[in-house]
């Protein structure tokens, strides 16, 4: 059976034959009985496991649940008399940014939070603002209006595709004390990117604050690189930014205009399997993710998928459960401030040496 024929096989029928239970939660949407973030979309004959950022078609589904290769999945689907589905290709709606009219061009509160609480230098904050990556806006929740920092995500056409919000003031009713949310309709596969020179490699961080912290700590040694915040741990962002870099190198950015998010990772799998590109670019991407179990698991899975992964994790000599790049930056700045204060105190307490000159006439 041809690949395109296999893709028309009903993913729900396959799940049923494999003894995997999905319940219908809305029109065309089915949820795994044990994992509520694992969903099947019957209208597009695709699936997505949101908590693990894994998605794909019926072939990818079989590979995932059976733990087999692409060829073995094709063989499995070809052998059994499965039902067929009329597949409707899902197209994402354009992202709408509703906060433009309530932005504050001064960004004074955003600057204050990022310098005082996060240790980012004013100079680097200004760079991000000038590139349109940071803004300050007013966000209304129920009856409350509060100032927020907006982190903006642009695609290969420099079109705004997503935005994340970070609260400035503490709110003890929230689990993280400060508001954190992603605007509705954001296209999460893009990531937030900051270019240095003409990028020929990629560095991935988990959040934009971590990206700024990494840049602050390493900027003297960074050249011709694109720093990317995945806004989590997302293989789709790794895939999109990798394809973007390759397309840009070959002056074929228009190729990305037609690629739907569910096809991003299968596409870089195809490049891995049919070309020597990754062999010829062993330092293509670096994972500067958090030093915790989730970050290590993410990097392990990418490595096991056959991609060249360089790790650059924050030091964790203290053995804490989680360390990120902003932890490192704030500690270094705190140590520096302590050293400055100690030096000042030492100089203040030193006795003044008086000298006298005797002039003989």
- pLDDT tens sequence across 318-343: 777 789 999 999 999 887 665 665 66
Span of 4-18, 80-94, 153-167 with lowest mean pLDDT: 80-94
Token representation of residue 130: 């000038």
Say which residue, 327 or 81, is predicted with more confidence.
327
Structure tokens at 186: 């954001």
Q: Over pLDDT 70: what percentage of the chain?
A: 89
CA 51, 55, 56 angle in degrees (round to 5)? 170
- Tell me the two tokens of residue 278: 């990754």
Sign of the torsion formed by the C-alpha atoms of 63, 69, 74 and 77: negative
Nearest C-alpha neighbor of 195 from the set 163, 151, 225: 225
For residues 136 and 106, the answer to whether their CB atoms sit within 8 Å is: yes
pLDDT in tens, 226-235: 999 999 999 9
Q: β-pairing, 309-311 with 285-287?
A: parallel
Q: For the chain, report the end-to-end CA distance as a whole number of angstroms.
A: 114
**For residue 148, is pLDDT > 50?**
yes
Query: Nearest-CA neighbor of 215 among 127, 297, 134, 138?
Result: 127
Q: What's the DSSP call for residue 11?
A: H
Length of the chain (residues): 361
Whether the per-residue pLDDT at 143 is higher than 80: the answer is no
DSSP-derived secondary structure for 299-350: HHHHHHTT--EEE-PPP-TT--S-B-HHHHHHHHHHHHHHHHHHHHHHHHHS
Structure tokens at 290: 């958090």
Task: Look at the domain 3-79 and name its fold.
Answer: DNA Primase; Chain A (3.90.580)
Confidence (pLDDT) at 308: 92
The stretches of 219-324 forming alpha helices (DSSP H) are 235-249, 264-274, 277-280, 293-304
Question: How many Cβ atoms are within 10 Å of 97's Cβ, its own excluded?
Answer: 17
Residue 190 has pLDDT above 70, yes or no: yes
pLDDT band for position 222 (cuts 50, 70, 90): very high
**Sheet harboring 22-26: ordered strands across?**
22-26, 29-32, 38-41, 46-49, 54-56
- Do the beta carbons of residue 219 and residue 182 sit within 8 Å? no
Contact 12, 28 (CB under 8 A): no
Give residue 178's pLDDT.
Answer: 87
Across 32-41, 88-97, 272-281, the highest mean pLDDT is recorded for 272-281
Range 298-316 average pLDDT: 91
- Yes or no: say if 89 and 125 are a contact pair by the CB < 8 Å rule: no
Report the pLDDT value the prediction gives residue 282, as an integer from 0 to 100.
94
Q: What does each C-alpha distance from 49 to 36, 55, 81, 92, 287 come to in angstroms?
A: 9, 6, 26, 18, 22
Is the domain defined by 189-330 classed in CATH 3.90.1200? no
Q: pLDDT of 267-293, one tens digit each?
A: 998 999 999 999 999 999 999 999 998
Question: What is the rounded average pLDDT of the residues 95-102?
Answer: 95
Closest CA to 312 of 296, 293, 327: 296
Range(s) within the chain of domains with CATH label 3.40.1360: 189-330
Q: If you average pLDDT over residues 33-57, what whole number do you get? A: 87
Q: What are the residue ranges of CATH 3.90.580.10 in the chain?
A: 3-79
Q: List the single range of 35-39, 99-103, 131-135, 327-331 with lowest mean pLDDT.
A: 35-39
pLDDT given for residue 361 in this prediction: 37
Say if residue 25's pLDDT is above 90.
Answer: no
Environment class of 9 (CB within 10 Å of its CB; exposed 0-12, middle 13-18, buried 19+): buried
Compare 54 and 309 and report the one with higher pLDDT. 309
Structure tokens at 338: 């302590």
């Amino acid at each position: 059976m041809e690949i395109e024929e296999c893709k028309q096989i009903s993913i729900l029928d396959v799940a049923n034959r494999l003894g995997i239970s999905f319940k219908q939660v809305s029109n065309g949407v089915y949820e795994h009985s044990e994992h509520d973030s694992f969903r099947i979309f019957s209208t597009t004959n695709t699936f997505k496991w949101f908590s693990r950022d894994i998605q794909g078609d019926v072939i990818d589904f079989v590979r995932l649940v059976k733990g087999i290769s692409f060829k073995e999945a094709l063989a499995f689907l070809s052998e059994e008399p499965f039902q067929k589905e009329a597949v409707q290709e899902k197209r994402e709606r354009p992202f709408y940014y509703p906060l433009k009219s309530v932005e504050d061009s001064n960004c004074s509160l955003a600057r204050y939070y990022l310098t005082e609480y996060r240790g980012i230098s004013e100079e680097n904050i200004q760079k991000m603002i000038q590139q349109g990556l940071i803004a300050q806006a007013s966000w209304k929740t129920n009856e409350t209006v509060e100032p927020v920092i907006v982190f903006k995500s642009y695609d290969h056409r420099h079109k705004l595709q997503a935005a994340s919000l970070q609260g400035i003031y503490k709110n003890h009713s929230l689990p993280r004390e400060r508001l954190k949310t992603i605007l509705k309709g954001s296209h999460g596969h893009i990531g937030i990117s900051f270019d240095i020179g003409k990028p020929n490699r990629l560095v991935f961080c988990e959040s934009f604050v971590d990206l700024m912290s990494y840049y602050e700590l390493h900027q003297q040694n960074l050249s011709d690189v694109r720093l990317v915040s995945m806004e989590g741990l997302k293989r789709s962002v790794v895939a999109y930014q990798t394809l973007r870099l390759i397309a840009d190198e070959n002056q074929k950015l228009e190729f990305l205009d037609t690629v739907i998010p569910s096809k991003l990772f299968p596409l870089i799998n195809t490049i891995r399997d049919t070309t020597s590109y990754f062999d010829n670019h062993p330092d293509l991407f670096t994972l500067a993710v958090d030093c915790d179990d989730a970050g290590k698991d993410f990097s392990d899975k990418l490595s096991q998928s056959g991609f060249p992964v360089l790790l650059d994790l924050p030091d964790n000599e203290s053995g804490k459960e989680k360390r990120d790049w902003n932890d490192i930056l704030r500690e270094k700045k705190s140590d520096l401030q302590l050293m400055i204060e100690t030096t000042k105190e030492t100089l203040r307490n030193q006795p003044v040496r008086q000298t006298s000159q005797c002039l003989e006439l």
